[in-house]
A and B are shown apart, each in its own frame.
Chain A
Amino acid sequence: MDYTIETQDLTKQYGNLVAVNKLNIKVQHNTIHGFLGPNGAGKSTTIKILIGLLKATSGSATVLGKKVQLDDADSRLRIGYMPELPRFPKHLKGAELLDIYGRMYGMNPVELKEQISKLIELVGLKGRENDLIGKYSKGMQQRIGIAQALLTNPELVILDEPSMGLDPVGMVEVRELIKAISKDGMTVLVSSHLLFEVEQICSHVTIINRGQALVSDTLENVSHKISGPVSIQVEIVNLNQKVISSLKELPFVKEITQKNATLNINLNTREEVREKISQTITSSGGIIVSMSMKGHGLEDIFLELIKSQGAKK
């Protein structure tokens, strides 16, 4: 199977510091792939290698079927890239920047004008396109950054921390925008440290820490693959011994602890069992006030993986 992005033992070293350590990732066509990791995990370094700004110390990377090399201009014709906290020349106006960048892609002026107008509207900069970028807020620079990455409707869009610097409304808009462009057939690689963002928009995820991929799969499979405790907290009215006994008889219940009217039920499965627990409590005379689950979200998986990598070291 061909992948949009594929790395093999990709390594980047700065002296003794290993920023990317034998990284293997595969990004499928037409997916939104989250690239997740704490600060300093090696996300931006990996992206800079993929885009040709840095040279790998060893290993290789293939993007859109072409081996990545430092300064390979032609291969970037099919890639749109927005850097982390993008900084654009302050002396240019927003529309001017898009026009110049568009011409670097060889776009014809008529097509470019239409595309600029469409993108300015899409990223919410209508009315400010003729202002100098030096007068733009951080959020506006982020928006023009997204626009320039989408200029040519590229096959691959790489967005490095696209929500950084945006207000909550802007963050929601960007997420919607990413979902929309994926529907147009683009492959999107989104680097982020915002777990909820990746969880909301990505179909696939690679979790990276200390330069190594801890897991790389569909979001669903990642969830299933990770072992470890999943627990459910239930607040119950009429909590009695019968409820606790009935719950203990369930095969997937590992341990139950009680604190006032709340039971903490540790499970030995990641299957969806909330309905069975609910039925058991109700049939034993308990009334459920609230129920919450810990351990299935990306945040839990992420923390679990980081913790287990730390323990191995």
Chain B
Amino acid sequence: MSETKVSWMKRFWAVVRYEMLWNIRKKMFIGALIFAFIFATLNIALPAALGVSENPYFTVTFSVGSFVFVLFAIVTGAYCISGEYEKGTIIPLLTKPVSRTMVFLGKLFAIFIVILATYGVIYTYTIIGGLLVYGPQNSLHLVPLALLGDILSTFIWVGVVIVAGTISKNSLLAILTTLGLFVALLFGTSIVGQLSDNPGPLNYIPGSGASGTMNVMTGQNITISTVTINTFAATTTGTDSIGVNLIKATLYPDANVNFYYTDIQNLINPNSTEPPRLLYSESITLIAVRSAVFALLYTEILFVAALFVFKRWEISE
């Protein structure tokens, strides 16, 4: 076989197919899919159970959810490099005329396609659910933006799990590292975001980021105990909310998000009437663009690091 006649693209697609078949035939993947559908169903049903009967913005403010992002990142990414090493399948693969860069990029592209298709199905399900439960839905043409935002959010975690797996050559360790980081960031940023008088740095950390309220109350109000939340106005700034924030910014580019400081004493004391103190306001457009840019940056850094390590692997076993 001549060395020059074989196109890069043909070989690349073979790697993509190889990885896609692996992903969709995993029992873990089927399990994650079932979980995602249960989660989406709860998202549709819970507001209705709390008394919301109409919400034209239900679908465009829907997100697959940060735990689902991590779940699919783990299911698709945890074994994609380190799993090949653990199972020994890396040897026949890397002795084919495919470079490690091609293997790495092919696998990433396959993960992208699998996640795109999965989220696409979940969003379709949500559109139908939204129409049936909350009536006619506005701005459905913006759903692809939410889909892409959610994929970007997921790819940060794909990057985390792949880099951990490539460095450790251990898939279990990669999963635990990713879950640990996710849980730490989830609780850490939530607590800091609520109680700190300077939540700004959270905007630059992967995860939920800082919480604020948008000055557009288009959605429905949901009241739980004494707290009322507007489904459209509640905004988080982190990389887990790129999709929703991009839609909000598209619909209301001039809107602002207000960030408040809540004194811990007021939270503990149920008789406190002191309102939360406004810290600062930020444009929703800035928030959406900044989180997308940072997500791209994190993803790129993580993938470049993983590829750097993978290219230097010596396969001795």
Asked if A81 is an interface residue, CB under 8 A from chain B, the answer is: yes
Chain A residues with Cβ under 8 A from B7's Cβ?
106
Asked if A139 is an interface residue, CB under 8 A from chain B, the answer is: no
- Give 1 or 0 for each of A68-100: 1 = CB within 8 Å of chain B CB: 001101111111010101111111100010001
Of the listed stretches A52-60, A118-126, A163-171, A222-230, name the one at the interface; the rest are far from the partner chain.
A52-60
Contact B10 A87 (CB under 8 A): no
A245 CA to B87 CA, complexed, in Å: 66
Contact of B311 among A71, A101, A152 (CB under 8 A): A71
Majority secondary structure, B binding face: loop
Contacts across chains A and B counted by CB atoms under 8 Å: 105
Contact of A89 among B1, B4, B11, B89 (CB under 8 A): B89
A33 smallest CB distance to B (angstroms): 19
Contact of B14 among A86, A88, A103 (CB under 8 A): A103
Restricting to B9-37, which residues have a CB under 8 Å from any CB of A?
10-11, 13-15, 17-18, 21-22, 25-26
B242 smallest CB distance to A (angstroms): 32
Restricting to B287-317, which residues have a CB under 8 Å from any CB of A?
311, 314-316
Asked if B176 is an interface residue, CB under 8 A from chain A, the answer is: no
Contact B3 A100 (CB under 8 A): no
Contact B96 A54 (CB under 8 A): no
Contact of B91 among A83, A92, A152 (CB under 8 A): A83
B221 smallest CB distance to A (angstroms): 48
Asked if B2 is an interface residue, CB under 8 A from chain A, the answer is: yes
Majority secondary structure, A binding face: loop
A53 CA to B87 CA, complexed, in Å: 16
Contact A87 B100 (CB under 8 A): no
Contact A100-B2, Cβ < 8 Å, known A83-B95, A86-B92, A89-B89: no
Contact A73 B26 (CB under 8 A): no
Nearest residue (CB) in B for A76 is: B97
Contact A76 B96 (CB under 8 A): yes
Nearest residue (CB) in B for A45 is: B316
Nearest residue (CB) in B for A93 is: B21
Contact B314 A83 (CB under 8 A): no
Asked if A51 is an interface residue, CB under 8 A from chain B, the answer is: yes
Contact A87 B88 (CB under 8 A): yes
B311 smallest CB distance to A (angstroms): 7
Contact A78 B10 (CB under 8 A): no
B190 smallest CB distance to A (angstroms): 38
Contact B311 A103 (CB under 8 A): no
Contact A71-B2, Cβ < 8 Å, known A87-B89, A103-B11, A148-B92: no
Contact of A71 among B17, B87, B100, B316 (CB under 8 A): B100
A79 CA to B92 CA, complexed, in Å: 12
A64 CA to B13 CA, complexed, in Å: 27
Restricting to B102-120, which residues have a CB under 8 Å from any CB of A?
102
Chain A residues with Cβ under 8 A from B132's Cβ?
none
A250 smallest CB distance to B (angstroms): 54
Contact B17 A103 (CB under 8 A): yes
Chain A residues with Cβ under 8 A from B6's Cβ?
77, 105-106
Contact of A74 among B3, B10, B15, B17 (CB under 8 A): B3
A85 CA to B88 CA, complexed, in Å: 10
Chain B residues with Cβ under 8 A from A148's Cβ?
92
Contact of A77 among B25, B97, B102, B316 (CB under 8 A): B97
Asked if B38 is an interface residue, CB under 8 A from chain A, the answer is: no
Contact A103-B92, Cβ < 8 Å, known A78-B1, A91-B22: no
A222 CA to B85 CA, complexed, in Å: 39
Asked if A154 is an interface residue, CB under 8 A from chain B, the answer is: yes
Asked if A104 is an interface residue, CB under 8 A from chain B, the answer is: yes
Contact B96 A104 (CB under 8 A): yes
Nearest residue (CB) in A for B100 is: A71
List 4 additional A-B contacts (Cβ < 8 Å) besides A53-B316, A74-B4, A87-B91: A88-B92, A91-B21, A104-B97, A106-B97
Cross-chain pairs A/B with CB under 8 angstroms, 15 sampled: A52-B94, A53-B315, A73-B99, A74-B3, A77-B3, A77-B97, A81-B92, A88-B89, A89-B87, A101-B14, A103-B10, A103-B11, A103-B13, A104-B96, A106-B5
9 nearest CB pairs, A to B: A106-B6, A103-B14, A87-B88, A73-B99, A53-B315, A91-B25, A104-B96, A104-B14, A76-B97
